[in-house]
C-alpha cells in the first residue's frame, strides 16, 4: 500500500509543488497573524518545523504499532491531537529547563502551534497516503521547510510594504491574502517537476 | 448580558462574521471551495460541530477546571468531529473522500475553539448552541460565495450542473489555489472598507 515514491522526491515536492500554505492552505491562522516581522516569522517557522518533525515521527509509530493493530482507527483524531498537545507541552517544559535561550526565542510560539492545522494536517496526509517511516519523516521535514519559506517570504514582503500608502480596508489580512495569492501563482510555475498526489 | 436570539444571529452572520471579520477558520474555507457541493457539506458539518460543542461546553462550564479548559474543549470537539467523519463516510462516501483530511482538520478550526472561549464558557447552553450554529452558518455563507465564483468560472457549473451554455473558456486558475487567496482577500477588503466607512459616517 505504501506509494513507491522516493522520500527525497517527497521532500522537495512538499517544499515547492505541494507547499503546505500555498497549495494546501494549512496553518493559515498563525501564518497571517505572525508575519509582520521577518525575525519573528523566522522563529515561528523554526518552531513549526521542529514540532512538525517530532509529532509526525511519534504519530507514525503510534499509528503503525498502536492504532492499526488495536483497530482504533475511529479514535485516530483524538489520539493524534492528544499526542500533539502533549508533545508541545513536553517540548516547552524541556526547552525551558535545558535551553533557556531557545525557549526565550521560540517559547511564545509553542502554544500557538498546538492548534496550527499544518501539524495535524501533515499527520492526516501521512495516514491517508500510507507513507513509510522514511517517507513520513522527509514529508514532515519538507512541509516544515516549505511553511517556513512561505511565512518568511510573506514577512519580507510585508516589511517592505509597511510604508506604502494603500486604499482603505486593504491593509492587514486582505493584503496578506493577495500577496499570498501572487506567491501561490508564482509557485504554480514549479508544478510538473514533481508530483506526489 | 442577555442577548436576544435575533441579535445573536445577526451578529454571527454579518457584523462579526467569523471568516471575514475575525479571519478565523481560513484553512478549510480555502481548501474546500473549489466546488459548491463540497463547501456546503463542509459548512453544514462545521455548523453542527460548533453548535453541539457550544451546547456541551456551556452545559459543563461550571464543572471544567480552568487550567485544563483547553484540553477538555479540544477533546469534546474531537468527539463530535469523529461523529461527523463517520457520518460522512457512511452516507456521503464520495464527498468524504474528496474532503480528505479537511474533515479531521475541523478539530483545529479556530472558529469552534474561538466560540467556545469567547461565548460558551460564560453563557447558558441554549444561546451558546445558537451562537455556535450561526457562527457556522456565517462560515457556510462565505464558503458558498467563494465556491460559487470558483465553480462558475472554473468548471462552468453550479452544484455540478453545467450552466456553460455560451461555451466560454473555463479558467483553470479558478480551481487552483491562488484564486482562493484572491477571492477571499477581495471579500475581506470590501468588508473592512465598508465597516471603516460606516465608522466614519457615525462620527
Q: Give Cβ neighbours of residue B198 (< 8 Å, ≥ 6 apart).
A: none
Give the model's pLDDT for residue A197: 59
Has residue B157 got a pLDDT over 90?
no
How far apart CA A62 and CA A43 sit, in angstroms, is 28
Residue A77 touches chain B, beta carbons under 8 Å? yes
For B162, phi and psi rounded to 5 degrees? -70, 125
Q: Which of B72, B81, B86, B101 to mutate to test the interface with A (most CBs of A within 10 A)?
A: B101
What was the pLDDT predicted at B122?
A: 83
User: Which chain A residue's Cα is nearest to B175?
Assistant: A23
Split at pLDDT 50, 70, 90, the class of B156 is confident
Residue A65 confidence (pLDDT): 92
A100 sits in which H/E element: helix A100-106
Question: What pLDDT does residue A116 have?
Answer: 75
For residue B115, the model assigns a pLDDT of 84
Q: What pLDDT band is residue B160 in, cutting at 50, 70 and 90?
A: confident
Q: What is the pLDDT of residue B174?
A: 83
Only one residue has cell 480551481, namely: B175
CB contact under 8 A, B184 and A177: yes
Backbone angles phi, psi at B44, to 5 degrees: -65, -40
d(CA B152, CA A2): 37
Q: What's the pLDDT score for residue A134? A: 92
Give the mutation candidate from A84, A181, A186 for the B interface (greatest B CB count, under 10 A): A181
Report d(CA A40, CA A45) in Å as an integer: 9
- Any chain B CB within 8 A of the CB of A79? no
- Residue pLDDT, tens place only, B124-134: 888 889 888 99
pLDDT band at B2 (very low <50, low <70, confident <90, very high): low
Question: Is the pLDDT score of B1 beyond 60?
Answer: no
Cβ-Cβ pairs closer than 8 A, A with B, add up to: 120
Residue A58: per-residue pLDDT: 94
Instruction: Please report which helix (H) or strand (E) contains residue B157, including its range.
Output: strand B157-158
Residues of chain A with pLDDT under 50: none
Q: Are strands B161-162 and B157-158 parallel, antiparallel or unpaired?
A: antiparallel
Q: Give phi and psi for A85, each to the nearest 5.
A: -60, -45
Q: What is the mean pLDDT of residues B109-133?
A: 85
Q: What is the pLDDT at residue A194? A: 73
Residue whose C-alpha cell is 482507527: A73
User: Which residue in A27, A174, A185 is closest to B27 by CB distance?
Assistant: A27
Predicted local confidence at residue B203, as pLDDT:
59
Cross-strand bridge partners of residue B161? B158
Q: What does the alpha-carbon distance between residue B41 and residue B53 come to, in Å, rounded to a whole number?
A: 18
How do residues A68-110 score in pLDDT, each as one tens digit?
888 888 888 889 988 888 888 888 888 888 888 878 777 777 7
What are the residue boundaries of the structural domains of chain A, listed by start?
7-188
Q: What is the mean pLDDT of chain B?
A: 84
At B11-49, the pLDDT tens digits run 777 777 877 777 777 777 778 888 888 889 989 999 999
Pairwise pLDDT comparison (A193 vs B57), residue with the higher score = B57
**Ramachandran angles phi, psi of B161, nearest 5°:** -95, 125
| Chain B contact for A68 (CB, 8 A cutoff) | no
Q: Given an 8 Å threshold on Cβ–Cβ distance, is A181 in contact with B179? A: yes
- Predicted confidence at residue A140, as pLDDT, reads 94
Q: Provide the grid cell at A159.
A: 516589511
Q: What is the mean pLDDT of residues B88-104?
A: 87
Q: Which long-range contacts (CB under 8 A, 24 or more apart) does B93-97 make?
A: B95/B37, B95/B38, B95/B41
What is the model's pLDDT at position A136?
93
pLDDT at position A141, please? 94
Place of cell 456565517: B138
Amino acid at each position: 500500500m505504501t506509494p513507491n515514491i522516493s522520500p527525497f522526491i517527497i521532500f522537495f515536492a512538499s517544499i515547492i509543488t505541494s507547499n503546505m500554505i500555498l497549495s494546501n492552505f494549512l496553518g493559515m491562522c498563525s501564518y497571517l497573524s505572525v508575519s509582520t516581522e521577518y525575525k519573528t516569522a523566522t522563529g515561528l517557522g523554526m518552531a513549526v518545523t521542529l514540532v512538525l518533525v517530532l509529532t509526525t515521527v511519534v504519530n507514525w509509530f503510534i499509528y503503525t504499532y498502536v492504532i492499526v493493530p488495536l483497530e482504533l482507527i475511529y479514535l485516530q483524531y483524538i489520539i493524534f491531537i492528544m499526542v500533539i498537545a502533549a508533545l508541545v507541552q513536553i517540548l516547552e517544559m524541556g526547552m525551558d529547563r535545558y535551553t533557556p535561550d531557545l525557549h526565550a526565542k521560540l517559547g511564545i510560539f509553542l502554544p500557538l502551534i498546538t492548534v496550527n492545522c499544518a501539524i495535524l494536517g501533515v499527520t492526516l496526509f501521512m495516514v491517508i497516503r500510507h507513507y513509510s517511516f522514511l517517507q513520513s519523516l522527509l514529508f514532515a521535514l519538507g512541509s516544515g521547510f516549505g511553511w517556513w519559506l512561505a511565512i518568511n517570504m510573506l514577512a519580507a514582503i510585508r516589511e517592505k510594504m509597511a510604508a506604502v500608502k494603500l486604499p482603505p480596508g486593504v491593509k492587514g489580512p486582505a493584503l496578506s491574502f493577495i500577496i499570498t495569492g501572487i506567491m501561490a501563482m508564482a509557485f504554480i510555475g514549479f508544478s510538473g517537476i514533481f508530483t506526489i498526489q | 448580558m442577555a442577548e436576544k436570539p435575533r441579535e445573536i444571529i445577526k451578529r454571527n452572520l454579518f457584523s462579526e462574521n467569523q471568516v471575514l471579520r475575525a479571519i478565523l477558520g481560513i484553512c478549510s474555507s480555502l481548501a474546500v471551495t473549489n466546488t459548491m457541493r463540497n463547501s456546503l457539506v463542509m459548512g453544514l458539518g462545521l455548523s453542527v460541530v460548533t453548535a453541539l460543542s457550544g451546547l456541551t461546553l456551556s452545559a459543563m462550564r461550571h464543572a471544567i477546571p480552568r487550567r485544563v479548559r483547553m484540553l477538555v474543549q479540544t477533546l469534546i470537539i474531537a468527539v463530535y468531529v469523529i461523529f461527523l467523519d463517520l457520518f460522512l463516510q457512511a452516507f456521503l462516501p464520495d464527498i468524504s473522500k474528496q474532503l480528505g483530511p479537511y474533515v479531521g482538520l475541523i478539530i483545529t478550526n479556530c472558529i469552534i475553539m474561538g466560540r467556545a472561549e469567547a461565548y460558551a464558557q460564560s453563557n447558558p447552553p441554549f444561546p451558546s448552541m445558537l451562537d455556535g450554529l450561526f457562527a457556522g452558518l456565517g462560515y457556510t455563507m462565505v464558503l458558498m460565495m467563494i465556491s460559487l465564483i470558483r465553480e462558475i468560472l472554473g468548471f462552468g457549473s453550479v452544484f455540478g450542473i453545467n450552466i456553460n451554455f455560451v461555451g466560454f473558456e473555463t479558467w483553470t486558475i479558478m480551481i487552483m489555489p491562488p484564486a482562493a487567496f484572491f477571492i477571499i482577500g477581495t471579500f475581506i477588503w470590501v468588508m473592512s472598507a465598508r465597516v471603516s466607512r460606516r465608522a466614519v459616517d457615525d462620527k
